């Protein structure tokens, strides 16, 4: 049986090599590729995608999985071998249901979609985007129907990014959280003048920002022998196995947190990937587990660590040294500025409190869209109405509203909720970490991050793809996924900053 498992792993290693290859191609496309290279790149990526699909849906893999089933049943669920077979089966069974030409058509539409979306947003022209989006919704509906029967057609879409969790489960969490978030946003709005973030909007040399970001993520545990930082229009992390995990960032000369916080955010993703157990390299377990778990790491480093007082107790003097014009600012002013909360139109600029409502809006809208309660043509109106309802702000243009995110142009429906699930889980991790490391706050104040990253590696990173979010929540924190600690964290942090109650 070990021979069969080895054969399975060898076949899948080639699939994983191609996943890495597509990663390199994408990284290059976003960083260094000359503009003329776009067509050739699309051809290369389509070919790789087709070969990947063919390798993983080869009937030999199905046969090996069948032969391994009795062996798997005898293995401990938590063993590496059981997890390898389980995850391989999940990938195989998912991909084998979808016809290759539908995969190719989605890929082609997504390539075109990126370009059309970019133009439509730049020109604030919803009509230009609508037909493409309608086509993508249709294709992804066909894709989801490959997984019938289901309770909700949105389930297979969600499952593609977050295995083992359904609409009903996510909805229960989000509906529990939503009224509390809306109430907190309202309370903060009444105390809007309590925080002034003008200090962050002075002039900050870009290169110095980049240098500081490097220093911070290196200190947090990012290994530059197995990574690098470049600039790109939208920051991202991409890993080709744990030995090469790269991040990108982008500085705003007149808004300090833009580059620093995105570097820490992407650094969180990258530290996770770099700390997957090395013996998982080139196996299906050798990467991050899911989008939510990934976001739990990036948002842990960005928000729980990176927007905390202890973190800046250590770093603010260094930032003042790098930017001497900050000499007149004290730590408390800086900390409060960095945590200013205010309803805004654009998700990626949202603070910790309002962020969740941006996500819930998209989650509900996607569910309504795929269940036929909202039509593609109604999306701009629905978007604006719900923004007014949840956040009290209404976009004046579609570019600032329904057109703001790239996701739908790529067919990434069911992806958004993972941002909030990750945020929620990150607080459960933080609570568990503080129990295990009572002086963790003092460590952070001293600029010592080995405790934090070591704990996360032990509980989360090293396991790679082994566990789903519900499984990992139980194993890492002893609790199921639950929103209450997240809301308590927000209430406490922002209650203190804004002097609520």
Q: Which residues contact a copy of itself by CB under 8 A?
A: 13-14, 17-18, 20-21, 24-25, 28, 32-41, 43-44, 46-48, 50-51, 223-228, 230, 240-241, 243-244, 246, 281-282
The least distance separating a copy of itself from the CB of residue 7, rounded to whole angstroms, comes to 16
Give the Cα separation of 184 and 180 in Å (integer). 6
- Who contacts 198 (Cβ-Cβ below 8 Å, separation ≥6)? 337
- By beta-carbon proximity to a copy of itself, the closer residue of 35 and 207 is 35
Q: How far apart are CA 238 and CA 248, in angstroms?
A: 9
Q: What is the 3-state secondary structure (H, E, C) of 87-100?
A: HHHHHHHHHHCCCH
Give how far Cα 126 sits from Cα of 121, 134, 387, Å. Answer: 8, 12, 17
Tell the smallest beta-carbon distance from residue 243 to a copy of itself (Å). Answer: 5
**Residue 221 CB, nearest approach to a copy of itself (Å):** 15
Phi-psi region of 124 (alpha: psi -120 to 50; beta: other; left: phi over 0): left
Q: Which of 72, 266, 302, 366 is catalytic?
A: 266
State phi, psi for 375 to the nearest 5 degrees. Answer: -95, 160
Report how far residue 14's alpha carbon sits from residue 10's, in angstroms, rounded to the nearest whole number.
7
Q: How far is the CB of 102 from a copy of itself (least distance, A)?
A: 19
Nearer to a copy of itself, 17 or 445 (CB): 17
Distance of alpha carbon 25 from alpha carbon 248, whole angstroms: 15
- Nearest CB to a copy of itself, comparing residues 21 and 393: 21
- The C-alpha atoms of residue 481 and residue 473 are separated, in whole angstroms, by 6
| Residue 47 vs 479, nearer CB to a copy of itself | 47
**Residue 79 beta carbon to a copy of itself: minimum distance, rounded to whole angstroms:** 25
Closer residue to a copy of itself, CB minimum distance, 207 or 225: 225
Burial bucket for residue 112 (CB in 10 Å: 0-12, 13-18, 19+): middle
Residue 227 and residue 208 in contact, taking contact as beta carbons nearer than 8 Å = no
Beta-sheet strand order (sheet of 229-231): 229-231, 245-249, 237-239
State the Cα–Cα distance between residues 133 and 406, nearest whole angstrom: 11
Is 307 within 8 Å of 474 (Cβ atoms)?
A: no
Catalytic site residue 266?
A: yes
DSSP assignment of 297-334: HHHIIIIIITTSHHHHHHHHHHHHHHSGGGTT--HHHH
Phi first, then psi: give them for residue 249, nearest 5 degrees: -150, 180
Q: Is residue 295 within 8 Å of 422, Cβ to Cβ?
A: yes
**CA 35 vs CA 48, 114, 115, 459: distances in Å:** 21, 14, 12, 42
Residue 126, C-beta contacts closer than 8 angstroms, at least 6 positions apart? 120, 380, 398, 402, 403
- Least distance (Å) from a copy of itself to the CB of residue 135? 24
Smallest separation, CB 16 to a copy of itself (Å): 9
Q: What does R_g of the chain's alpha carbons equal in angstroms?
A: 23
| CB 453 to a copy of itself: min, Å | 18
253: left (phi over 0), alpha (psi -120 to 50) or beta: alpha
Instruction: In angstroms, give the least distance from the CB of 270 to a copy of itself.
Output: 11
The catalytic residues are 266
């Amino acid at each position: 049986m070990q021979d069969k498992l080895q054969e399975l792993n060898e076949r899948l290693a080639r699939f994983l090599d191609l996943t890495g290859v597509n990663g390199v191609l994408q990284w290059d496309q976003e960083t260094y590729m000359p503009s003329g290279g776009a067509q050739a790149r699309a051809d290369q990526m389509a070919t790789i995608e087709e070969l990947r699909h063919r390798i993983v849906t080869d009937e030999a893999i199905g046969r090996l999985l069948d032969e391994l089933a009795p062996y798997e049943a005898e293995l401990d669920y938590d063993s590496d071998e059981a997890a390898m077979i389980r995850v391989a089966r999940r990938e195989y069974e998912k991909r084998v249901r979808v016809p290759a030409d539908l995969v190719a058509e989605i890929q082609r539409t997504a390539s075109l979609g990126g370009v059309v979306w970019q133009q439509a947003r730049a020109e604030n022209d919803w009509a230009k985007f609508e037909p493409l989006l309608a086509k993508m919704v249709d294709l992804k509906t066909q894709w989801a129907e490959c997984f019938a029967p289901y309770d909700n057609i949105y389930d297979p879409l969600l499952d593609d990014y977050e295995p083992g969790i359904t609409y009903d489960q996510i909805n229960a969490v989000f509906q529990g959280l939503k009224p509390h978030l809306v109430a907190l946003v309202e309370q903060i709005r009444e105390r809007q003048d309590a925080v002034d973030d003008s200090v962050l909007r002075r002039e900050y040399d870009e290169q110095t920002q980049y240098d500081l970001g490097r220093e911070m993520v290196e200190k947090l545990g990012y290994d530059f022998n197995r990574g690098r930082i470049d600039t790109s229009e939208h920051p991202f992390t991409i890993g080709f196995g744990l030995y090469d995990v790269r991040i990108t960032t982008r500085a705003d000369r007149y808004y300090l947190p833009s580059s620093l916080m995105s570097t820490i955010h992407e650094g969180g993703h990258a530290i996770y990937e770099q700390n997957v157990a090395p013996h998982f390299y080139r196996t299906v377990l050798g990467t991050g587990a899911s989008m939510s778990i990934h976001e739990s790491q990036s948002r842990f480093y960005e928000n729980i660590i990176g927007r905390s007082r202890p973190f800046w107790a250590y770093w603010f003097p260094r930032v003042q040294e790098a930017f001497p014009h900050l000499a007149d600012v004290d730590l408390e002013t800086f900390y409060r500025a960095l945590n200013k909360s205010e309803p805004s139109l654009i998700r990626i600029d949202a603070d910790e409190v309002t962020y969740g409502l941006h996500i819930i809006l998209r989650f509900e809208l996607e569910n309504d869209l795929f269940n036929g309660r909202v039509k593609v043509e109604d999306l701009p109106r629905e978007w604006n109405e719900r923004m007014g309802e949840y956040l009290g702000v209404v976009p004046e243009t579609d570019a600032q509203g329904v057109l703001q995110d790239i996701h739908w142009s790529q067919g990434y429906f069911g992806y958004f909720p993972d941002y909030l699930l990750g945020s929620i889980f990150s607080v459960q991790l933080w609570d568990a970490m503080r129990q295990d490391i009572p002086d963790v706050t003092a460590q952070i104040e001293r600029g010592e991050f080995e405790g934090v990253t070591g704990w996360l590696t032990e509980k989360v990173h090293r396991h790679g793809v082994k566990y789903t979010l519900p499984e990992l929540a139980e194993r890492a924190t002893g609790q199921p996924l639950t929103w209450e600690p997240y809301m308590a964290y927000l209430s406490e942090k922002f209650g203190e900053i804004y002097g609520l109650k």
